[in-house]
C-alpha cells in the first residue's frame, strides 16, 4: 500500500508520498524502507533522525519534526494499530465442516461458518455467520457464538453460555465452568462443604477478545456478564456472577472473585487481585500487583504494593509493621517515646 491507500481506508492527513509500496509496519529503530513506523511517545523523538522507515505516523505536534513521508493523525498509536491490522488481516477462513467434527442434529451452524477438525457442538447450539471454530473446540448444549467470532484451538464453551459477534477467543479458554460455591455445614465432630449448584450462565458481548487459558465461571443463579469491547489478557480468572462493563481492559494473571462488579473503561494491571462483592467505578485504573480489598467509588489510579527491596531490608520493615498497632495504642495513651 501507498500512504494514500492507507489514508483512504483510515483518514488522517498525508504529507509527501513513499517512493515504493509499503508492505508492513516496524519500529523506528528497526523499520526498513518498505515499512511504516510511528511516533506516539515524545521521548522517542531522537530516533526520527536515524530511522530508515519509508513513512511515519505522527501526531499534530510532531508534524514538522521529520521530512519523511508521513500521515498526521490525532492519535498516532491507535492509528498505527489500525494500519497494522491492514497489513496483518487474519487468514480467510474456508466455510464448511471438517469430516471429523461431531455436530448434534439439533444444532444450527451457519453455512458460512468454518468448523475445524475434532470439534464437538451440542444440541441446540447456534454458530453464527462467518464464525470460525478451531480444532478441538467443545461447544455445549444451547450455547451460542455470534457472527464473525473466531475461536482458536481447544476452546470450551459450556452449556447455555453466549458469545457475541466479532469476538476473538484464544486457545485453551474455558467459559462457563462451575463457579467456586460451597456452603459450610460443620459440627464439633463432623461436617462437610456442600456444593451450591451453579445454574446461571455466561453472557459475553460483541468485539470481546479473551487471551489464552483465561477462565470465566458461570453464575450461581444469575449470569456472569462481560460487556462489549472488553479485552482480557492470558490466564485471567473471573469468578461467578461478576459483571464487567464495556471497554474495560484487564492484564494477565488477574484474579477477580465472585460477584465483583467492574465498571466501564476500567484498566487493571497484571496480577492484581479483586475481592468478591466489591464495586469498581467507571474509569478507575488499578496498578499491577494491587490487592483491592474495598470498593472504589471515584475514578483515579489506585496502587497497593510494596516496592522491590533487598530481602534483609524487607524483613526489617516487616518487623516494624507488626509493631504499628502497639505504637498506635501508645500514641493514644500519650506514652510514645
pLDDT at 335: 58
Confidence of residue 19 (pLDDT cuts 50, 70, 90): confident
Interval 187-213 mean pLDDT: 96
Bridge partners (DSSP) listed for residue 226: 204, 244
Q: Is residue 311 annotated as part of the catalytic site, yes or no?
A: no
- In this prediction, residues 71-80 reach a mean pLDDT of 97
Domain spans in the chain, listed from the N-terminal domain onward: 3-87, 96-302, 310-337
H/E run at residue 11: none
Contacts of 196 (CB under 8 A, 6+ apart): 181, 182, 183, 220
Give bridge partners of residue 35 from the DSSP assignment.
Answer: 24
Residue 24, classed as helix, strand or coil, is strand
Q: Could you say which of 98, 240, 247, 277 is catalytic? A: 240
The three cell numbers of residue 61 are 505536534
Q: What's the whole-number average pLDDT of the chain?
A: 95
pLDDT digits (tens, 9 = 90+) for 124-153: 999 999 999 999 999 999 999 999 999 999
Here the cell at position 283 is 474509569
pLDDT for position 163: 98
CATH of domain 96-302: 2.160.10.10
DSSP secondary structure string, 247-283? T-EE-TT-EE-TT-EE-TT-EE-TT-EE-TT-EE-TT
Q: Is it true that 3-87 and 96-302 share their CATH fold?
A: no
Please, which residues have CB within 8 angstroms of residue 254's CB and are 6 or more apart in sequence? Answer: 233, 236, 237, 268, 269, 270, 271, 272, 273, 274
Structurally, at CATH architecture level, domain 3-87 sits in: 3-Layer(aba) Sandwich (3.40)
Cell numbers representing residue 4 in the block = 494514500
Amino acid at each position: 500500500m501507498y500512504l494514500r491507500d492507507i489514508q483512504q481506508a483510515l483518514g488522517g492527513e498525508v504529507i509527501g508520498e513513499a517512493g515504493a509500496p509499503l508492505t508492513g509496519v516496524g519500529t523506528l529503530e528497526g523499520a526498513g524502507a518498505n515499512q511504516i513506523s510511528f511516533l506516539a511517545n515524545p521521548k522517542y523523538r531522537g530516533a526520527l533522525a536515524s530511522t530508515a522507515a519509508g513513512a511515519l505516523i505522527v501526531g499534530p505536534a510532531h508534524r514538522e519534526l521529520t521530512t519523511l513521508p508521513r500521515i498526521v493523525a490525532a492519535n498516532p498509536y491507535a492509528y498505527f494499530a489500525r494500519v497494522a491490522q491492514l497489513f496483518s488481516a487474519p487468514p480467510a477462513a474456508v466455510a464448511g465442516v471438517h469430516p471429523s467434527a461431531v455436530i448434534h442434529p439439533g444444532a444450527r451452524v451457519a453455512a458460512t461458518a468454518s468448523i475445524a477438525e475434532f470439534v464437538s457442538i451440542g444440541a441446540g447450539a447456534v454458530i453464527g455467520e462467518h464464525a470460525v471454530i478451531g480444532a478441538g473446540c467443545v461447544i455445549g448444549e444451547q450455547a451460542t457464538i455470534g457472527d464473525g467470532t473466531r475461536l482458536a484451538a481447544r476452546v470450551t464453551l459450556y452449556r447455555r453460555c453466549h458469545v457475541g459477534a466479532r469476538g476473538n477467543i484464544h486457545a485453551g479458554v474455558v467459559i462457563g465452568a462451575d463457579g467456586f460455591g460451597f456452603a459450610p455445614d460443620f459440627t464439633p465432630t463432623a461436617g462437610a462443604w456442600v456444593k451450591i449448584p451453579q445454574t446461571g450462565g455466561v453472557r459475553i458481548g460483541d468485539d470481546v477478545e479473551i487471551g489464552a487459558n483465561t477462565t470465566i465461571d458461570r453464575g450461581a443463579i444469575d449470569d456472569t456478564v462481560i460487556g462489549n469491547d472488553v479485552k482480557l489478557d492470558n490466564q485471567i480468572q473471573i469468578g461467578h456472577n461478576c459483571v464487567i462493563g464495556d471497554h474495560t481492559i484487564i492484564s494477565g494473571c488477574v484474579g477477580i472473585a465472585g460477584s465483583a462488579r467492574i465498571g466501564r473503561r476500567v484498566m487493571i494491571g497484571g496480577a492484581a487481585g479483586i475481592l468478591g462483592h466489591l464495586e469498581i467505578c467507571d474509569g478507575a485504573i488499578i496498578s499491577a500487583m494491587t490487592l483491592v480489598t474495598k470498593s472504589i467509588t471515584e475514578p483515579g489510579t489506585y496502587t497497593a504494593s510494596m516496592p522491590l527491596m533487598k530481602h534483609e531490608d524487607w524483613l526489617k520493615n516487616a518487623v516494624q509493621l507488626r509493631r504499628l498497632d502497639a505504637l498506635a495504642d501508645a500514641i493514644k495513651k500519650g506514652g510514645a517515646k
